[in-house]
Structure 1
Amino acid sequence: MSTSTVRELPAVAPAVTAELVAALSPRLRKRLDAGITKLADRPVVRDGDTVRITVDDEGSELELHAPGGVVADAAAIRCGCLLAPDCLHRAAAASAAPVADASADTASTEGADGTAGVGAVEAAGQPAPLPGVREIPVPDESATAPQLAAAHAVFEAVAAVLDAGTDGSGAVLQAELLRAAHTARLAGLPRAAAAAVSVVTGVRAARAADPAFRLTELVGAVSEALFVAHRVPHATGAELTGLRGTVRQPYTPDGSLRLYGLFSEPVLTASGYAGAVTWTADAEGRLYTVSDVAPGGTGRAVGAADRAVRIGDTALTHRELARAGLAVSGATVSPTGRLGAGAGVRAVRASGVGWRAEPLVRLWAVPVAEQVGRALDGGHELLFLEVTAVGAVREAAGDCLLADCGGVPLRLTAAHDHPELPHRDNLRLLAAARGSRLRVVARLVAAPQARAQLLATEHPMRAGSRVDVGLDRLQHADLPVPESPPSAAPLAPAAPVHVVRTPDEAPLHLLRRRIEQAASGGRRVLAFPGDSAADVHRLHRHGLGTAGDILDGLLAAAAERSRDAFGRLLPADTGHFARAWLTAARYTDEVDRVLCAAAWGG
């Protein structure tokens, strides 16, 4: 199904999709993927909370009733064809629609019980837990029987998807994984449930050739789901608490706060949620966020910046708060720094300050290596950097901004590639402002090179002004005038494209490439690796003996097939291959952390 049609459909709860697919006959299950493809060319009409799709030439309509933007019950999907309710159309529509985040509908509001949901806004990153928060001792307990069963179901379902790859993971395999995610959520494993849903979302984006799909993100989702499901049966105490995760975070009173706006960024998730998050800081440099995330698409991600923030009676919009200040009384704050919006919270507009004035200037005074170390150790991933624009560097995913950060060659990439968001266009223009020295805010990307996603920057021409890269759109007139005669081209010349050559470095990509190949093409891609001995020897030669052994084990697990007493091949052991793949993925993640710290001078 085309990505445009998918965006018009409301989000559907995982349990609904699993229920509808399970109800299909074996014959209809085989036709499910073809049925999803046929819906791509059918007209979609939205009328309030109801979405209608004309499913055949006779005018039969399929209705999805989504109060609040989410289809939460199988009965809310009704079809007017002759075979309804046992037709293919209901399951096809549910399988094509975005997967609803069970907690995202409360992501930006505080509940009456003093808690708030952990929803789509988490994708935008959150501050580290605030200092001074007392940790409650966790009893040395083990997972319950329902949690053990749910973890096993998630592991088996993800292993089946990994065995098949994105091309082979059709709607039936996706539904099995959604069923496992629903079981995990009911058993009290929201972290495993969220990871499983992320895998389904990534697989669907890959199969639909969505331009926003990133293979590295799918690899991360598969790794997270397998890791949590694998560790739950063996964990106790604090580790088990972390593996279980939380659906709702407690909001604790924090008295009065004087906050200064830093920047705003749009939020747009593949699961059908959109909005904006505004980052602020207090006088001590602690970070707080104000979020507005709800079901919606690109229009909401862009428009949310001009909506009033949901705190107290203030009329400030997110765009205004990013440059102003906020005085809050009766504040409630989550452990990650999100401000609550309960009835007792009062907030009024206050004056803001520039990035080069107190108290915000102290954010840029922290050494870069220390900021990177904090992010890699589980703190917030924001980096406050002073850079000099060098030009553009060409990569497979598109050109990115090459900058010098205190002698460290830094690649600044787009936080989002959607064409209606200005991230990529702003990066191209900033690359033309060669020699401009700017303070920026970026989000760390753990990679062997210094890399970060650009979120906000000082204006190249207007002192004291700043640009929210995901919301504000730069023009050529905003760039410094090139030093050339008036007869030269009236617009700033295109920035030169640099091809950065690095010295012979540890060839960890030999292992990472196999990990990504398996996630994309499935186990069979690695079952006949050809001459892999050279890759293993090269890893050993560069001192990565463990990586070489892991690669050897991964390829052996992919090719391993047993036979029965009559010499017939038995089904592959998907669990064994998934564990070998997980070992490789976790190893490369840890090495990337070490190389990332070294690249930044840590």
Structure 2
Amino acid sequence: MSQDLLPPVAPSVTAELVEVLSPRLRKRLDAGIARLAARPVVREGDTVRIAVDDETHLELQAPGGAVTRADAIRCGCLLAPDCLHRAAAASAAPVAEDTPDSPPAQPTAEAASRPPAAGTAATALTTEAAAPAQLAAARAVYGAAAGVLEAGADGSGAVLQAELLRAAHTARLAGLPRVAAAAVSVVNGVRAARSADPAHRLPDLVDALCTVLGMAHRLPFATGRDLAELRGGVRLPYTPDGSLRLFGLFSEPVLTTTGYAGAVTWTADAGGRLYTVSDVAPGGPGRATGAADRAVRIGDTALTHRELSRAGLAVSGATVSPTGRLGAGAGVRAVRASGAAWSAEPLDRLWAVPVAEQVAHALGGGHGLLFLDVTLAGTVREATGDRLLADCGGRAVRLAVAHDDPALPYRDNLRLLAAARGRRLRVVARLVPGPLPRALLLAAEHPARPGDRVDLGLDRLQHADLPTASAPPAAAPPVDEAPLHLLSRRVHQAVSGGRRVLGFPDGGAGDDGRLRRVGLATAGDLLGELRAAAADRSRDAFGRLLPADTDRFARAWLAASVYAGEVERALCAAAWGADAEVVATSR
């Protein structure tokens, strides 16, 4: 059974089906999911049928593309409706966007951000606090996320995932769509980790878990605009932006752990502002590679994403989201226009911005793209694989693949570019925060054809495209970095293996002292508390282990994770020569 064939299932449906299982069936749920994955699946329109065995069939009804009710999953076995098969199918399917059945308990972020009406006290916005339903939902999300952290991704089976999905549904009903979305992203990350999905990255799961725990922890103390930010909005608003003249920059494939795939094309206007045109829908690697040849969903234009990345677009009646995504409403009109080379105006001005300013903007919450002029210098080996080494204004930058899925050509293209040592190229990359200059390579000038460019996630370079190397391989510069990894490694280990991997008596002993000796006293204290919280298991008068203090471990891990992230951003700013104060004030 391929997950791509299963329709997305709403979080509330999965939680409901798991909750009605008996304790005996809950213990067998993960094994049931594995067995169901080996069964044949047939999809006919909005109906998906799974042959559980020769006589029993499971049916999922997904009108509108998603399963939104528990009775839309039907099974023909004797234990139905409270059978293992229905819960297993829901737990194996992608998570659908959950839509609340009732209006939010509090105003949305858009309403909360409006200026006070005439005659209203100006302090109303700053003193508004969370509603009781929102406080209860935040506690539920925090408790469920702490349970996932306690077990780690390795031990967070379908039952723990369902508990977090139920909490996410409760948060959405209470008017906390941002908290709900963060909780769902944790479930998706855990599922990707447990299934060895090529799209899984442990740092992403760490960030997702830190985000959901942090928001649930902050919400009871938040008021006014801080509370509005934590609540978030169900949809990003699109605002009119008049007429736009856009120039294609590059396209990149999208392949997520949530079961969505497609392509995003980046464009820029004459002033250097970036806009995106996306085509993302449920699907797998095939959709990610094929979406580039689909027509963009803007007006009546027949341009494909691949063509738009090298051409231009004239848009009238444009609508734009706060993140720069172009809307495709009925009133939007678009026609093909001429493009521009990266070395010509107006795109050339993107590379004219000092790299330090670009990094500061990315660390401050910007789009994260870097426009770099680099000289290729071969490869450098790291613990997580080989990296393309490049010189950028005298700074050694390590360029990595943007996605590890073998269906995408990122890795093959990076390997071929490494052979073009000495070649100077313009590239587009995405910043990776860390103590060394690192970025994910997205697009580059063609190494043999001046003026042409390559979308490294969609186009495939050939050996014949590469010039002969004109310089010997450069040695990687010596690395003298602060040992922040002693803390961040434990933070990551906890997410992967849970509390137990940090609870061993000799696990990381002495690391906190080493951090203090190099001046990272706070990191040493946080690591010491994290290890102490992991090992804290009291016993009763009969010597039996008492329940672990999940809250203490979650608070210790959250503090360590937030600190490691902030220090990592500061070290990243220093590594690229960016102004740390500018980064701090722009966030």
Q: TM-score, normalised by structure 2?
A: 0.91
Deviation at 1:562, TM superposition (A): 3.6
Distance (Å, rounded) in 2 between the aligned partners of 1:81 and 1:346: 53
**1:492 paired residue number:** none
Secondary structure of the residue aligned to 2:400 is: strand
**2:102 paired residue number:** none
Quick check: 2:265–2:305 contact (8 Å CA) kept in 1?
Answer: yes
Deviation at 1:414, TM superposition (A): 1.2
Secondary structure of the residue aligned to 2:534 is: helix
The within-5 A match list for 1:232-247 is: 232-247=219-234
Distance (Å, rounded) in 1 between the aligned partners of 2:499 and 2:469: 53
**1:158 paired residue number:** 145
Q: Which amino acid aligns with 2:524?
A: G
Secondary structure of the residue aligned to 2:562 is: helix
Deviation at 1:519, TM superposition (A): 0.8
Deviation at 1:515, TM superposition (A): 0.7
Match of 1:84 among 80, 85, 93: 80
Distance (Å, rounded) in 1 between the aligned partners of 2:86 and 2:477: 53
* Closer/same/farther in 2, CA of residues 11 and 395 from structure 1, 3 Å limit: farther
The within-5 A match list for 1:156-195 is: 156-195=143-182
Residue 595 (str. 1) matches residue 571 (str. 2): yes
Total equivalences in the alignment:
557
Secondary structure of the residue aligned to 2:441 is: strand
Distance (Å, rounded) in 2 between the aligned partners of 1:18 and 1:396: 39
Residue 9 (str. 1) matches residue 21 (str. 2): no
Measured against aligned partners, the alpha-carbon deviations of 1:236-262 in whole angstroms (never above 9, x if no partner) come to 111111111222111111111111111
Distance (Å, rounded) in 2 between the aligned partners of 1:553 and 1:547: 10
Quick check: 2:213–2:558 contact (8 Å CA) kept in 1?
Answer: yes
Q: Which amino acid aligns with 1:71?
A: V
Distance (Å, rounded) in 1 between the aligned partners of 2:245 and 2:164: 45
Indicate the structure whose relative CO is greater, using CA pairs within 8 Å and at least 6 residues apart. 1
Secondary structure of the residue aligned to 1:262 is: strand
Secondary structure of the residue aligned to 1:380 is: coil
**1:125 paired residue number:** none
Measured against aligned partners, the alpha-carbon deviations of 1:423-463 in whole angstroms (never above 9, x if no partner) come to 11111111111111110111111111111111111111111
Deviation at 1:396, TM superposition (A): 3.5
**1:268 paired residue number:** 255
Secondary structure of the residue aligned to 1:474 is: coil
Match of 1:534 among 493, 510, 516: 510
Quick check: 1:12–1:97 contact (8 Å CA) kept in 2?
Answer: yes
**1:94 paired residue number:** 90
**1:331 paired residue number:** 318
**1:460 paired residue number:** 447
Measured against aligned partners, the alpha-carbon deviations of 1:171-203 in whole angstroms (never above 9, x if no partner) come to 111100010011111111112111111111111
Residue 513 (str. 1) matches residue 489 (str. 2): yes
Deviation at 1:137, TM superposition (A): 4.3
Quick check: 2:341–2:451 contact (8 Å CA) kept in 1?
Answer: yes
* CA RMSD, 1 decimal: 2.0
Q: Which amino acid aligns with 1:15?
A: S
Secondary structure of the residue aligned to 2:59 is: strand
Distance (Å, rounded) in 2 between the aligned partners of 1:503 and 1:321: 41
Quick check: 1:441–1:456 contact (8 Å CA) kept in 2?
Answer: yes
**2:424 paired residue number:** 437
Distance (Å, rounded) in 2 between the aligned partners of 1:369 and 1:193: 35
The within-5 A match list for 1:113-124 is: none
Structure 1: 5+ residue stretches without partners: 104-117, 119-134, 485-494
Quick check: 2:379–2:389 contact (8 Å CA) kept in 1?
Answer: yes
Distance (Å, rounded) in 2 between the aligned partners of 1:68 and 1:291: 21
**1:22 paired residue number:** 19
Distance (Å, rounded) in 2 between the aligned partners of 1:99 and 1:343: 29
Secondary structure of the residue aligned to 2:242 is: coil
**2:414 paired residue number:** 427
Quick check: 2:422–2:469 contact (8 Å CA) kept in 1?
Answer: no
Deviation at 1:397, TM superposition (A): 3.2
Secondary structure of the residue aligned to 1:194 is: helix
Deviation at 1:15, TM superposition (A): 1.0
Deviation at 1:144, TM superposition (A): 1.1
Quick check: 2:210–2:561 contact (8 Å CA) kept in 1?
Answer: yes
Deviation at 1:147, TM superposition (A): 0.9
Secondary structure of the residue aligned to 1:402 is: strand
Residue 570 (str. 1) matches residue 557 (str. 2): no
Quick check: 1:99–1:197 contact (8 Å CA) kept in 2?
Answer: yes
Secondary structure of the residue aligned to 2:418 is: helix
Deviation at 1:482, TM superposition (A): 4.6
Secondary structure of the residue aligned to 1:19 is: helix
Structure 2: 5+ residue stretches without partners: 100-108, 117-124, 579-587
* Closer/same/farther in 2, CA of residues 377 and 334 from structure 1, 3 Å limit: same
Distance (Å, rounded) in 1 between the aligned partners of 2:509 and 2:35: 45
* Closer/same/farther in 2, CA of residues 449 and 237 from structure 1, 3 Å limit: same
Measured against aligned partners, the alpha-carbon deviations of 1:199-227 in whole angstroms (never above 9, x if no partner) come to 11111122222233221111111111100
Secondary structure of the residue aligned to 1:250 is: coil
Deviation at 1:569, TM superposition (A): 3.3
Deviation at 1:568, TM superposition (A): 4.4
**1:54 paired residue number:** 51
Deviation at 1:501, TM superposition (A): 6.0
Residue 73 (str. 1) matches residue 62 (str. 2): no
**1:417 paired residue number:** 404
Distance (Å, rounded) in 2 between the aligned partners of 1:531 and 1:75: 48
Q: Which amino acid aligns with 1:31?
A: R
Distance (Å, rounded) in 2 between the aligned partners of 1:519 and 1:198: 14
Quick check: 1:212–1:418 contact (8 Å CA) kept in 2?
Answer: yes
Distance (Å, rounded) in 2 between the aligned partners of 1:526 and 1:377: 32
Measured against aligned partners, the alpha-carbon deviations of 1:516-553 in whole angstroms (never above 9, x if no partner) come to 11111111221224174521111011110000011111
Secondary structure of the residue aligned to 1:576 is: helix
Secondary structure of the residue aligned to 2:545 is: coil
Q: Is the deviation greater in 240-249 or in 375-384? A: 240-249
**2:289 paired residue number:** 302
**1:196 paired residue number:** 183
* Closer/same/farther in 2, CA of residues 502 and 48 from structure 1, 3 Å limit: farther
Quick check: 1:45–1:53 contact (8 Å CA) kept in 2?
Answer: yes
**2:335 paired residue number:** 348
Secondary structure of the residue aligned to 2:382 is: coil
Quick check: 1:394–1:499 contact (8 Å CA) kept in 2?
Answer: no
Residue 543 (str. 1) matches residue 519 (str. 2): yes
Measured against aligned partners, the alpha-carbon deviations of 1:138-178 in whole angstroms (never above 9, x if no partner) come to 81211111111111101000101111112221111110001
Residue 366 (str. 1) matches residue 342 (str. 2): no
Distance (Å, rounded) in 2 between the aligned partners of 1:499 and 1:71: 55
Secondary structure of the residue aligned to 1:387 is: strand
Secondary structure of the residue aligned to 2:486 is: helix
Distance (Å, rounded) in 1 between the aligned partners of 2:140 and 2:202: 24
Distance (Å, rounded) in 2 between the aligned partners of 1:560 and 1:236: 34
Distance (Å, rounded) in 2 between the aligned partners of 1:320 and 1:8: 30
Secondary structure of the residue aligned to 2:3 is: helix
**2:582 paired residue number:** none
Residue 42 (str. 1) matches residue 17 (str. 2): no
Secondary structure of the residue aligned to 1:166 is: helix
**1:226 paired residue number:** 213
Distance (Å, rounded) in 2 between the aligned partners of 1:461 and 1:355: 15
Distance (Å, rounded) in 2 between the aligned partners of 1:483 and 1:505: 31
Q: Which amino acid aligns with 1:370?
A: E
Distance (Å, rounded) in 1 between the aligned partners of 2:477 and 2:346: 40
Residue 380 (str. 1) matches residue 367 (str. 2): yes
Distance (Å, rounded) in 1 between the aligned partners of 2:253 and 2:62: 24
Secondary structure of the residue aligned to 2:2 is: helix
Match of 1:282 among 269, 272, 278: 269
Distance (Å, rounded) in 1 between the aligned partners of 2:450 and 2:25: 63
Distance (Å, rounded) in 2 between the aligned partners of 1:40 and 1:296: 17
Distance (Å, rounded) in 2 between the aligned partners of 1:36 and 1:482: 51
Quick check: 2:261–2:287 contact (8 Å CA) kept in 1?
Answer: yes
Q: Which amino acid aligns with 2:68?
A: A
Measured against aligned partners, the alpha-carbon deviations of 1:471-516 in whole angstroms (never above 9, x if no partner) come to 11111111113579xxxxxxxxxx96x8746344211111111111
